[in-house]
Structure 1
Amino acid sequence: MLDDGVAVKLNAEKENMNSKVLKFLLVVKVLGNKISFPMCSVELRRHWNKFGNFHMTSLGMNWILCSFISEEAMDEVLNGGPWYVGGYIVGMDKWSTSFNPNSFNGITAPVWIRLPCLPLYCWDEENITRIASKIGVPMYVDGNSFRWGKHEFVRVCIRLNLENSLPKGVWIDGIAGRFFQHIEYEKIDMLCFYCGKVGHDKDLCPEIKKVDVAAKVSIKQENVVSIPT
């Protein structure tokens, strides 16, 4: 990196032309450590061929660019799901000029959550939706949840913002008082138990790295010996 701050000025007209060509695109990432691009290609085609032809390109860092022939096909994929590859959740968003492969900004995924041991007086669609809305955008409730003999947990599909930390539960005010309802997330394996975010484990958590760097700087400052003048 140069210190003088001199930057290359791009041709804005060409940038805008390139951006117009890049329409009907989704940026996709499978939240699993050992999922190869060929495996993703096979699985995603199996899921999405019913929406029409599309093209996939590897962007590196486990990101895939999917180009669709129409906006309708792209929206069907974006608003459908949940989608899985090798049992792992698929996160996605429409491509934009602000896309950054180092960030999950804007990336969402339909995810099934469970509400274990939910009090029976809360078992209706409106109250279940209210609870789920504290985690993400509710999409639909598993109808099997309301069958007798299926009262171990409620199951709800929500659209989850993968940039946010995943809460372990929510506080609820009910007719019997306030209680804490635990949340379980299905098929999310790349979850950091330090910061609560998806996409990395604790060993690679950037928040831990920040703390470690701050601690090292603090130790160095404490070890500085003042030289008397």
Structure 2
Amino acid sequence: MDWKGKQPAGTATEGAARGNGKGSGAWTRPGPWVTQWPTAAEVERLSRCFPEVLVLPEEPIEAARLEWEGQAAVVRSFSHRVPAEWVAKDVAAQSKMKEVVAVPLAGGYLALRFRSTEDQDRALSEGPWVVAGQLLAMTPWVPDFEPGEEAVQTAMVWLRLPRLPPEYWSTSTTLHIAARAGQPVTVDGVTKQRQAMGFARVKVAVDTTKPLLPGVLIQGKTKVRWQPFVFENAPALCSRCGQMGHQAAACRFPATTSAEGGSASASASVEVNPGGGPA
């Protein structure tokens, strides 16, 4: 083999990013597909330039898929990242499981692998999950999962309904009100037994890609009253769009406005301290 003129390792990579400035060796900025994950528009452009689709042998992929399907969940935090081993330890301890393995993924996501489908189902249903003070969203792993801003869209949270009038405390009425904030799952024991009536407390699954509502108007017997929604352990909301997971300076979504032109979601009440005792 003729090695004459062979470039040192790394030269070809550097050359791809080096500019054409004569004699200056100037660098040009490499394309985004070299240094970071491309945007949807960039993927579309690249797909037009490189339209060939690679078809992989299915057998090894299907065998690997069986190790994940029905026995894994994907987790994300909405603010500070939480070490994977902390999440695995807390989920295993609170759900009384023998073993939970955490695998860090790209973009701050992590995967939890369970010993059985029953363990996976228990972890998904027993939230909300709050580890190191951070609210976590959890969803079942699906084939071709790819980390991204909308990859995990559902989070379990406890919703408080403060100063709820006593006649609204039946489970059916409470769940009906909570349905405006998310998908209601259950009421807590104190609420169900009416042992304390400072606030009703309902577990709801919220869509993290949509603004959290600050409350709802309810038609009463003598008046229309405003019922606030208080979300326990939720991170600070974007004051522009009302979503979790980012601040206004980094917001890419349209502002959510009220009829008066102000931000309708910015006033959503957020409870950062856990607790379900009487108000």
Q: TM-score, normalised by structure 1?
A: 0.78
Q: 1:179–1:98: structure 2 CA closer, same or farther, 3 Å change rule?
A: farther
What is the RMSD computed on CA atoms of the aligned residues?
2.5
- Residue 133 of structure 1 deviates from its aligned partner by 1.5
Structure-2 residue corresponding to 1:85: 131
- Identity of paired residues, percent? 27
- Residue 132 of structure 1 deviates from its aligned partner by 0.7
Structure-2 residue corresponding to 1:220: none
What is the number of residues matched between the two proteins?
Answer: 206
Structure-2 residue corresponding to 1:55: 101
Distance 1:25 1:180 in 2: 41
Q: How does 1:134-213 map to 2 (within 5 A)?
A: 134-145=180-191, 146-147=194-195, 150-207=196-253
Structure 1 gap segments, 5+ residues each = 210-229
Q: 1:202–1:98: structure 2 CA closer, same or farther, 3 Å change rule?
A: farther
- More relative contact order, 1 or 2 (CA 8 Å, 6+ apart): 1
Higher helix share: 1
The reply on whether 1:32 has 2:79 as its aligned counterpart is: yes
The CA deviation string for residues 76-133 of structure 1, in whole angstroms up to 9 with x for no partner, is 1111122210122121111113533213345322211111222333222111110011
Q: 1:98–1:193: structure 2 CA closer, same or farther, 3 Å change rule?
A: farther
* Equivalent residue letter for 2:56: N
* Equivalent residue letter for 2:186: Y
The CA deviation string for residues 56-91 of structure 1, in whole angstroms up to 9 with x for no partner, is 110032211111111011101111122210122121
The reply on whether 1:9 has 2:51 as its aligned counterpart is: no
- Residue 41 of structure 1 deviates from its aligned partner by 4.2
Secondary structure, in 3 states, of the residue corresponding to 1:21? coil
- Residue 170 of structure 1 deviates from its aligned partner by 1.9
Secondary structure, in 3 states, of the residue corresponding to 1:112? strand
Q: 1:40–1:70: structure 2 CA closer, same or farther, 3 Å change rule?
A: closer
Higher Cα Rg: structure 1 or 2? 2
Higher strand share: 1
Distance 1:85 1:56 in 2: 14
The CA deviation string for residues 120-179 of structure 1, in whole angstroms up to 9 with x for no partner, is 3322211111001122222222333422xx333221111222222211112323333433
* Equivalent residue letter for 2:115: I
Q: 1:81–1:193: structure 2 CA closer, same or farther, 3 Å change rule?
A: same
Q: 1:81–1:121: structure 2 CA closer, same or farther, 3 Å change rule?
A: same
Distance 1:182 1:138 in 2: 16
Secondary structure, in 3 states, of the residue corresponding to 1:207? coil
